[in-house]
Structure 1
Amino acid sequence: MIYLFLANGFEEIEALATVDVLRRASLDVVTVGVGGKRITGSHKIEVTVDVEEKDVSFDGLDMVILPGGVPGTPNLEKSKVVREVLRHCEEHKKYIAAICAAPSILGHMGLLKGHAACCFPGYETELDAQTVSMDPVCVSGKIITARGAGVAVEFALAIVGELLGSEKSKSLRKSMQCI
């Protein structure tokens, strides 16, 4: 199971494109609301999540994904549950993915030490990573990061590639005409 956390002010493209692509790949993605069941994105798109943060369980958890956006990223970072899930994933060698400003949360928690990572321009000093990559998407061990909304589909396809293999990612890319 994959948790994708949403907090008010999240970047809609980063969250919803990722959920869409992962579900096309038949991955079990559960959207989790920080602060409620209905979460409003930075462009005023309201989303009803699958579960609230109080309902989060570590049973069967394979990955956590954090979309960016402002004030979505700071709202995610304030959540004790988000931080607990990130620590759990780190301790149990599960995947962690973050896009745009959200990799800064990983940096603040020290999760990027020894890793390469990328983020939205201007957040590089928040990463505390071994290497700051200028690539659109960066995979470093079990950490996947991306620069922003414009690469949301590439971010999701990288996640598919890591979890299901490059052939599944290529097949999905072709079916979506992302040639």
Structure 2
Amino acid sequence: MTKRVMILATDGFEQSELIKPKANLEKAGIETEVVSLEEGSIRGWDQKDWGESVAVDKTVDAIENCDGYDALLLPGGQMNPDILRMNERAVAIVREFALADKPIAAICHAPWLLAEAGLIDGKTVTSWPSIRTDLKNAGANVVDQEVATDGKFITSRNPDDIPAFSKALIDMLGETVADSELEAA
């Protein structure tokens, strides 16, 4: 049976942190679905300006629960997770994946959502340097490494970590893809 991953994002996602992991998952035969706050499309942030738009498949309000999904992918960017953590339904979705013991992969600033959902106390995580104090204050053991995996949580620091980040999620889902096929930032 084909695995499905929800990608939860909104305007201001770090372009490479959504587009590249999405492509890597799809190369491994995993279906992806972009879920956001509003219908239509969302715009990425590409280093210093607005980047490409990505079509939204469903809104957070259309998601009753995490049934039908095998994992959750949270791209970073500074704006994206900051906006999402202010939306009660988005935070509830993150919590539901954790309660269902399904993998959650968060990169860059996206671990903010894990903290907002109250999920990282005692967990080992990594992130973009500027939010590490926030994660420590939420009770996490914060490390500086390419990928930190603790139970079903996979976290990474930045776009340079995308191949390892993608591979960790693909492996956790029991699928495979050659390292040479993984797209980088």
CA distance, structure 2, for counterparts of residue 81 and residue 122 of structure 1: 25
Consecutive aligned runs of 4 or more in structure 1 exceeding 4 Å deviation:
none
Q: How many angstroms does 1:40 deviate by?
A: 0.9
Q: How many angstroms does 1:30 deviate by?
A: 0.8
1:97–1:175 CA distance, 2 compared to 1 (3 A): closer
**% same residue:** 26
Q: How many residues align?
A: 174
1:82-101 equivalence runs, <5 A: 82-101=90-109
1:53–1:102 CA distance, 2 compared to 1 (3 A): same
Which blocks of at least 5 consecutive residues in structure 1 are unaligned? none
**Which residue does the alignment assign to 1:67?**
75
Q: TM-score, normalised by structure 2?
A: 0.86
**Which residue does the alignment assign to 1:49?**
56
Which blocks of at least 5 consecutive residues in structure 2 are unaligned? none
Match 1:125 to one of 118, 124, 133: 133
Q: Write the deviation string for residues 78-133 of structure 1: whole angstroms up to 9, x where unpaired.
A: 22222111111121111111110110221232211121000001111111244111
After superposition, the CA RMSD in angstroms is 1.8
1:68–1:177 CA distance, 2 compared to 1 (3 A): closer
1:5-154 equivalence runs, <5 A: 5-43=8-46, 44=50, 45-58=52-65, 59-127=67-135, 128-154=138-164
Q: How many angstroms does 1:177 deviate by?
A: 8.7
Q: TM-score, normalised by structure 1?
A: 0.89
Q: Write the deviation string for residues 137-179 of structure 1: whole angstroms up to 9, x where unpaired.
A: 11110001010112122211110111115xx2xx42134498x
1:34–1:177 CA distance, 2 compared to 1 (3 A): closer
